[in-house]
Structure 1
Amino acid sequence: MWFEILPSMGIVFACMSLPHASLYVLNQLFHGNHFRRSLDTTELAKQYLRDERLTGDAYKLSGLEAIPDA
């Protein structure tokens, strides 16, 4: 019958969701947040925040021309 597949489907589902759930818990324990990164510590995040400060839009490309002259 159709319900005979339910135990094996449950095992497959548990095995596939275990890494995601364990990373969620481990990142909370070691990093203090649920993610692997923080918006104030990585180099990419610093560039993201710099672009947002200079141009008002973090997704708009900006280079040296976006920095105002003194």
Structure 2
Amino acid sequence: MWFEILPSFGLIVVFMAVPHASAYVINKAVVGNMYRRSLLTREERMQYLRDRRLTDNPYKVKGLEAIPDA
């Protein structure tokens, strides 16, 4: 019957979801943030470098108080 594929389908879905779920846990442990920044475009890389220069940690967002007065 058609319902005999449900256990196999469930296993495939779980095995496909494990890498995505573990990425959040690993990023939280290593980086301190649940989400990894994408550095695919030049604009995103420049924002990453700007945040690292201003706050010494590009993953912890700070407000205007982090920008020094010129």
Pick the TM interval, shorter chain. 0.5 to 0.7
Of 32, 38, 46, 1:44 maps to 46
For structure 1, the residue ranges without an aligned partner over 5 or more in a row are: 50-70
Distance 1:8 1:19 in 2: 18
**Which AA in structure 2 matches 1:26?**
I
% identical equivalent positions = 48
Distance 2:20 2:8 in 1: 20
For normalisation by structure 2, the TM-score amounts to 0.53
For normalisation by structure 1, the TM-score amounts to 0.53
Distance 1:9 1:47 in 2: 43
Runs of 4+ in 1 over 3 A off after TM superposition: 46-49
In the alignment of these two chains, the number of paired residues is 46
Task: Say what the alpha-carbon RMSD is for the aligned residues.
Answer: 2.8
- Seen in structure 2, the aligned counterparts of structure 1 residues 31 and 46 have a Cα distance that, compared at 3 Å, is closer
Distance 1:47 1:30 in 2: 19
For structure 2, the residue ranges without an aligned partner over 5 or more in a row are: 39-43, 52-70
Q: Which has the higher contact order (CA 8 A, sep 6+)?
A: 2
Corresponding position of 1:7: 7
